[in-house]
Chains A and B, each alone.
Chain A
Amino acid sequence: KQEVTQIPAALSVPEGENLVLNCSFTDSAIYNLQWFRQDPGKGLTSLLLIQSSQREQTSGRLNASLDKSSGRSTLYIAASQPGDSATYLCAVSYYGNNRLAFGKGNQVVVIP
């Protein structure tokens, strides 16, 4: 069974600092990996999707890397802002049906 771990569960950073969020998974035979954002009481919004053949994806201040061999992904958020405060979820998908296995998330607070 695929296990997805996100550490730390919660963190606070001052505004302007770069955020580094880590995700690890036990089975390297993934199809893709996605990072989502969830605001309190809301649904999930997809931030970045990295195919298994890719090493990284970038969107604005966000950059996600993927190292399949070590079972790790890292989400970087440059120059954090209070609006970045949210829970960030990592999820990996299996071949064949796009099922997702989720980590429990990193709850981020950016302090003004």
Chain B
Amino acid sequence: NAGVTQTPKFRVLKTGQSMTLLCAQDMNHEYMYWYRQDPGMGLRLIHYSVGEGTTAKGEVPDGYNVSRLKKQNFLLGLESAAPSQTSVYFCASSYPVGDTQYFGPGTRLTVL
């Protein structure tokens, strides 16, 4: 049981490049989330999904897109990376309302 895994762990992009971050969970959780963590700002929700095929915007969705084609996977895409997207990205998953969220180890992204 691997829990929540994230790929890649580190990435450096140039401004304007695109990339996709992959989150996978093996706990059969319905809900999945993408957060970013920045110094002095704390963790902020980017997008989330309440089930396969669904997505919804969080607190800071601009510049990101997501997809949940399979229940176990939640993808976060950056179409045209900007330096303001330099951050640590965390994925999390949970059962529906009332349960704890389980976090992945994070992806450290630097945009030059």
**Are A43 and B90 in contact, CB atoms less than 8 angstroms apart?**
yes
Complex-state Cα separation, A31 to B101, whole angstroms: 14
**Are B103 and A98 in contact, CB atoms less than 8 angstroms apart?**
no
Q: Specify which chain B residues have a CB less than 8 angstroms from the CB of A34 in the assembled complex.
A: 100-101
Complex-state Cα separation, A7 to B9, whole angstroms: 31
Which of under 10, 10 to 19, 20 to 34, or 35 or more describes the interface residues of B? 20 to 34
**Are A89 and B43 in contact, CB atoms less than 8 angstroms apart?**
yes
Complex-state Cα separation, A111 to B103, whole angstroms: 28
Among the 9-residue stretches B11-19, B67-75, B79-87, B91-99, the one with 4 or more Cβ atoms under 8 Å from chain A is: B91-99
**Are B105 and A97 in contact, CB atoms less than 8 angstroms apart?**
no
Which of under 10, 10 to 19, 20 to 34, or 35 or more describes the interface residues of A? 20 to 34
B41 interface hit (Cβ, 8 Å): yes
Q: Specify which chain B residues have a CB less than 8 angstroms from the CB of A93 in the assembled complex.
A: 97
B residues 1-57 with Cβ under 8 Å of A?
4, 31, 33, 40-45, 48, 50, 56
A13 interface hit (Cβ, 8 Å): no
Q: A98 with B94: in contact, given A104-B40, A104-B42 (CB under 8 Å)?
A: yes
Complex-state Cα separation, A39 to B97, whole angstroms: 26
Cβ contact of A99, chosen from B4, B45, B102, B105, cutoff 8 A: B45
Q: A95 with B97: in contact, given A42-B105, A102-B42 (CB under 8 Å)?
A: yes
Known: A36-B103, A43-B105. 10 other contacts (CB 8 A): A31-B98, A34-B100, A34-B101, A43-B104, A45-B103, A51-B98, A95-B97, A97-B97, A98-B96, A98-B99
